Chain A
């Protein structure tokens, strides 16, 4: 640790001079008081989340389509790869309709509030021990608080539309989000309680420390005090689906009952802001779940699989550092397979070339990542090693979040929708008592163990 402190001392005071080691910072830019890099991180995360939302849009449509024995978007670009862009362009140039009876100012600001709440959360999401904008010591509290502000946007949208369907949707969503926040908070508290079960009895609210505590205790909290951690995790996983208004808890926008719920009157750009906020919020709550229970950025078995695989070379760290590159190579291989299987007809020539180029880009990224990992390992340069480690941290974090994103799609394809009273029953009569019980039992077991 002292080595890292000295590294901090050498760079913290001089913003911008350590630009070569973006992912190699020893602490987050917020802690290092480095506004320039904090700003750059913010931009990177903003762009990354936006790209993730666009990718999620495509993946959801494709995966949902394949669940439902259809193909999904196939026309815009090879396998519909450009469909999200086409959609975005369509939404941007669409006429922006504000109903005559609507409250203009509130109608205008509601999607912005939703979007702001969804994106502000990412300030404290730790993609790695130093790959976060800032490490607040109330990180998890901040995340829960800010993500709960999203409901304000929904309520205001419902009210400002001055129409019955949005109003009912808004009332539903506010009741739903407030109810599920309780169970969600209690599940989070039981995970925070687990962070304090160490030698000095100090717990953490900081997102980074929560992950590091999991490493120190040598167990992801989902497996801690089995099955207590698992139950708390499942409660959170259910509550977070309700919190983001996704199926089977998508009552606020239940299309068969309320046409489109709170955003019935919205169109074009404003509507797309709501969608952006919804997907960003999905990624954000999944990040909370990953951070609290699934070891955040930690690779599998960080304490057990260390040292050399064989007597000398290579070491496990190196093996795991290869994963990001290999994943991209694998994605590239899938794209190549798609290219080969494209119809051999002149009509599809441009699409085939495009898909091939996409495959080449994916493979290029894969080769680049592999090169960084191998080069860092070969040269032994500290900055390179740190950069490689940072990439690998981000990779594991994103991979875990991606699994949650897939689950969201899976839920949507499988389940019918709950009715409002049943939703409340599940929240208050099932999740809340169980989460309280888990919290109490966790505390008791913690006292007995320590």
Chain B
């Protein structure tokens, strides 16, 4: 039982004295584990079932995306960003394209911005659906997973019709969008707007007032707004802790200033609040899509961008509100066709740092609940 020694660098100071080392158990959760959402490895130090400390071991999915960027032209690197957060590929593409546009001092035309908003918000819903399904599955409710996948299919169909890909969409280009919307795009989106609200009600019916769900999520993985800011946590996790921070409102980009929507916040910063925040966010995304699809202007979809992109020497940081939090791109240009350095600020990676704060003193079952509620994607954590 006590034969497995923790790695030497494991800083697992125990908050309280345990008398006996055999009561302490080092549990190696992952990288092959059903509830770590890919290949996250969490080393848990347990006292019985109580978590005394955790250490995340990441990097099992490291592909060197940032290094690849240095050897590709700006255009060639565009598809790679889709492979980071593969459940929210559209957001990744939007962030990258806008960062390069900023570097080039180009502004995407209004119609392109509207298309971008519609697709990005659809993608936000798809990402939250995937989160909801897997999160519920981690807590033991199997059924929501299949419901969310059924409804996510409708979004993916729109993506497929628009750009031919379902997951790694590569929907946007630097300077706008490559494709004009297909005939019937607006009808499809409007159909989805009518189709989806009852489905959210269905998910909520299964979970929101379910006693077991409440017991499993309330007061679990609590993190204060102060801790969130100290750890750099962003996105729904930050908002559930009561901090009203959403880049779409704080530093509006891509026409978001023109849309009317609200930013949901929680009070307790527990798993249930994060659940509720994301559920409300889905409804707010529907509101944004509705305004966008009704007000979509005619016009060009591509700004005047040179065939060979050669930004002036300089550096730029641009961040957007991805489904999981603040997704930032820091690009240094040396004036050539290839970026000198691209640094990605992935929300999953930063949010994952909060895991230890959130699960200390909780039980093993809460660890999976918290990993689920952080909504991490390992492709983005490891890059």
- Which residues of A come within 8 Å of B, CB atoms? 64, 67-70, 164-165, 167-168, 172, 247-248, 250-251, 254-259, 412-422
Contacts and interface: CB of A to CB of B under 8 A. Distances in A.
B284 to A, nearest CB: 26
Nearest to B138: A256
B143 A420 contact: no
A260 to B, nearest CB: 9
A420 B363 contact: yes
A296 to B, nearest CB: 32
Interface stretch (B10-18, B25-33, B288-296): B25-33
B1 interface: yes
B35 A417 contact: no
B4 to A, nearest CB: 8
A385 to B, nearest CB: 47
A429 to B, nearest CB: 13
A417 B367 CA distance: 14
A256 B212 contact: no
Contact of A247 (B25, B33, B140): B140
B215 interface: yes
Given A415-B210, A419-B365, A259 B143 contact: no
> Range of interface residues on chain B?
35 or more
B28 A254 contact: no
Nearest to A421: B363
Contact of B35 (A251, A256, A420): A256
Nearest to B139: A416
B352 interface: no
Given A164-B27, A255-B34, A256-B140, A418 B147 contact: no
B137 A257 contact: no
A167 B213 CA distance: 26
Closest 5 CB pairs of A and B: A417-B140, A68-B146, A256-B35, A416-B141, A416-B140
B5 to A, nearest CB: 14
16 contacts: A69-B150, A164-B27, A165-B27, A168-B25, A168-B27, A248-B212, A256-B35, A256-B368, A257-B368, A414-B143, A416-B213, A417-B139, A418-B140, A418-B212, A418-B216, A420-B49
B313 interface: no
B364 interface: yes
A426 to B, nearest CB: 9
Given A167-B1, A416-B212, A419-B215, A256 B363 contact: no
B33 A413 contact: no
B49 A168 contact: yes
B366 interface: yes
Contact of A415 (B34, B141, B367): B141
Nearest to A65: B146
Query: Which of A248, A413, A419, A422 gathers most chain B CB within 10 Å?
Result: A419
A259 B33 contact: yes
B282 interface: no
Contact of A250 (B136, B140, B146, B150): B140
Main secondary structure of the interface of B (DSSP, over half): helix
B102 to A, nearest CB: 42
Nearest to B146: A68
B26 to A, nearest CB: 8
A58 to B, nearest CB: 18
A164 to B, nearest CB: 5
A168 B206 CA distance: 29
A163 to B, nearest CB: 10
Nearest to A165: B27
Contacts of A248: 140, 212
B366 to A, nearest CB: 7
Nearest to A164: B27
Contact of B215 (A168, A412, A418): A418
Contacts of B141: 414-417
B142 interface: yes
Contacts of B210: 415-416
B146 A419 contact: no
A168 B364 contact: yes
Contacts of A421: 363
A254 B207 CA distance: 19
B143 A67 contact: yes
Contacts of A259: 33-34
Contact of B146 (A69, A165, A412, A416): A69
A68 B365 CA distance: 24
B151 to A, nearest CB: 10
Interface in B345-379: 363-368
Interface in B139-170: 139-143, 145-147, 150
Contact of A416 (B33, B147, B216): B216
A247 B138 CA distance: 13
Contacts of B206: 414
A325 B201 CA distance: 43
Interface in B110-160: 136-143, 145-147, 150
A63 to B, nearest CB: 12
A420 B365 CA distance: 8
Contacts of A167: 1
A417 B207 CA distance: 12
Nearest to A251: B365
A420 B364 CA distance: 9
